[in-house]
Amino acid sequence: MHLARGEKNWIIPDGYIPPTSAGSLESHESVCVLNVSSEEALLNFTIYFEDREPIEDILVVVPPRRTKHIRTSSLAKEGTSIPVGVPYAIEVRSDIPIFVQYSRLDATQAENALMSVVAYPVK
């Protein structure tokens, strides 16, 4: 029996899906979640924008003792997903403590660029 560790609420202020890809890799972002516990984690995403209302209650499950690297382009609510080329921000809430890191691969040019941050934990 493995207990949950981490935090239940994480923030990523700088979200952006690059609109184009020029090299052999595709531009994308990943929200990388680790659930070290023996229980399933139920995640609830809120997506904030600069000029419109947030998209709320996008649900994702992370199985026990597993990681899940979630493509932000896969996040959708009733057919509405995150538009490319638009600045946005991500909030992740979970019913049990988890860990969250955010990474972006930008392949706008033929050669790729990478950035990554551990998300900010709200305690």
Q: Diameter of the chain by CA atoms?
A: 47
Out of 43, 45, 94, 99, name the contact with a second copy by CB under 8 A.
99
Note whether 30 and 103 are within 8 A (CB).
yes
Nearest one of 97, 76, 92, 90 to 34, comparing CA atoms: 97
Q: Is 108 in the site for a second copy (CB under 8 A)?
A: yes
Nearest one of 94, 117, 121 to 31, comparing CA atoms: 117
Q: Is 37 in the site for a second copy (CB under 8 A)?
A: no
Q: Which is nearer to a second copy, 78 or 114 (CB)?
A: 114
Contacting positions for a second copy (CB under 8 A)? 5-6, 9, 11-16, 23-25, 30, 32-34, 36, 48-51, 53-54, 65-69, 87-89, 91, 99-101, 103-106, 108-122
